[in-house]
Amino acid sequence: MNKKLIAVVFTSATVLGTASTTVYADNTIKFQGEVADQTCTVNVNGNASSPLVLLPTVPASSLTTAGTTAGTTNFTIDISGCTASTSSTAIKTIFVGNNLTTNGRMGNTGSATNVSLQLVDPATPATPLDLTGQTGAPGLNLAANATSASHDFAVQYYSEGSATAGSVLGSVQYAISYQ
């Protein structure tokens, strides 16, 4: 009798353990961070928190054809308060879009339709930056013995089709990766 009870309890525990694992397999929170020899204070257009980049108002007629861009607006990421090093430090800016289109641009959460936002390096405005967080955008470089640096990026409207009038809103999270 005891052997049967132990076998039933063991089998039940095994089944429940498997079911429990299966139920919670999709409930995973991933965390990512970095430990670095270098850290700096970061500002976007001079703002350390809640930066806002205002794009110009553009006519819907400038975004009638898919793939056209308008309203390119530069913004600057500054780092300061860094520890001076005897060698230069390459720094990557990692952008992660909060509402990406199927083509990896910032989806518009405003009222305009057929328009998204894309980030670019002003030196190569035809090449959008990766907003998936998989690769970092180069540009920031902390020179040897320097404690600050800056780099310009840009955002622009991108036509997904014939755009209609309305607000255009988008956001990205960013991180600085010291290489």
Global pTM reads 0.77
Which of 62, 82, 59 minimizes the C-alpha distance to 148? 82
- Token pair belonging to 115: 């328009």
Which of 154, 149, 60, 65 minimizes the C-alpha distance to 106? 154
- Token pair belonging to 61: 């007629």
Q: What are the pLDDT digits (tens) for 103-144?
A: 999 999 999 999 999 999 998 888 999 999 888 888 889 999
CATH 2.60.40.1090 fits 41-178, yes or no: yes
> What percent of the chain lies above the pLDDT cut of 90?
59
What is the model's pLDDT at position 112? 97
Domain definitions of the chain by residue range: 41-178
Which of 94, 154, 102 minimizes the C-alpha distance to 125? 154
With b for 16 or more beta-carbon neighbours within 10 A and e for fewer, the 45-56 pattern comes to eeeeeeeebebe
pLDDT band at 31 (very low <50, low <70, confident <90, very high): confident
Average pLDDT, the chain: 85
